[in-house]
Structure 1
């Protein structure tokens, strides 16, 4: 018998942060500025500073009247995130940042530099209510949804860091803390600012944005109807409902067949290949018959519009969950490919700095 459903879709336990420039629509920004006695064109000036110059420091916005800057800061640029700790590994190519939010909530983001590109792993919630037993964030539960600005600020900070290093942020993956599609409206608003062009965002290509989900099927379909060209990543982790009910408890509500139907709808609407994420766990989901089943089901449901990312599990300290042996990993990949489905092993980074989602936040809470 499957474990009872333990998902947390309840209202956040803590209050949302003060509103920020990135929370507002263009019209709302204009209205806010009008309250301060500033004309409409100032909204475009602020957007240029924020999106192009990557600053939220109003004192550096010298084209804003000096006597109005304090009021603009209070109304539109409150400080949302305070850096607590930053750790690096992989010869400095991977940096994990821990932030404290206005209400004491802890937030993580990871910047990964590769030859010719840099990827930010971004969080959409503080904690997570999906209760996947092998995930540090899932075991900590949900603190609250992040605001749009708290999501966008992760991108702005990482972009500024890359610019200071003489590079640029090229990819964003919503694979940090939280279930992005459980904070749907704010995540979509953030994605549109990250990818917005002509002064309405940071200008990153939609094709370089990946939004991950454990399988909220109705939200996947809604995402497909947004008209975006982002990549959808589905954290499947096993092809059979019997095991997935316990590994990914949301499966009790939307089983594998429903999730794959929704993924096919997304692929058809967006024209993008769906990424299937599969954390390979020793003696849990790494058997050959599951590799065969995975390949068959994906080929049947998605045809050529799918790719499998096998992820060696990054275990949390003291956990019963461990990575599958290398030989079993290689055999798993071979068997998926034999079913006609592309399958590769994701390059893992940050093992030495607790880079599995939620580990730094858990460590900070324990030491407090």
Structure 2
């Protein structure tokens, strides 16, 4: 009996120890500090086939496509992308708005729309013009259609461009009508609201996109960046040595790029620990149209107590958003909530720990778009690996199980 009692006592003690260990482990999870570790390897990271913001003021891409591989658009919606595209080509904002007003009337700037008689795309092309468009690769994208439109305006359809250039001092609504008559050649009674749309567009963006701006590049949900044709605009890592524009539609900053890679952030550097503010620099650049780098966002975060030994506190998203005039809403860590936010024009900043695109110690990424088949496009600042991740389409199930509950933020204007 004594032996039995002793055995029972040992068994009970062992159970207690295991029980206490389980409680302790659970408490460690519950009370873990709400910041994200971000240990990265500071190496030389060529940004292959991805759009990036150059510190010299050039929006460019490098690598596989070579020069002229595509147009990168900037804008929080298709209207803004159209405006920035044409202003980047040297048109005034009024002239760009006149064109945008026509495209809004024709198609609501939907590159995949086709009407009952077969007119297709943002300008509702028909016949041979439609065939010429469809002969191009990626003909159903806004980027390709804007380039095609610009090609037409400098060729067989130059009358439309000449109309708005020759009368550049006119009211934007009048310019829209003149452009429509020459380029769209619509029938009687088909003028519609193109003049009204052009005026509304011009008024909405007059303070945001000044005339003579050179923003020519793109965003699936954001604006920002600038394009220059000067000698500063050179690619890095590309075989041709020249600047180019890639199809990808979002500016992705590399936290391990110079000159900010080795700047202090907390007890470490931006490269090794600054993924939080670097992710937010992508969002801020996209949403505001301003050139905001990881250096700027990291300094603000560090100066305001968000930098920790190996990462950032979870309030880095709402605090940086507020500082740059944006809004941040904490949303659920599930597909429905995130997709709803994305389709409503938001960009989503989140952290997680685990396999790529996260890292074991924790990492911030941006969910920047959702495809028609439900895959996610991300922006990952983690050097070369991050650039590769940013080119992929991700199954949400490869991301959500590793995302931190409570640290998913929808950022909007």
Give the shorter-chain TM-score range.
under 0.3
More strand, by proportion: 1
State which structure, 1 or 2, has the greater radius of gyration over its C-alpha atoms: 2
With normalisation by structure 1, the TM-score equals 0.26
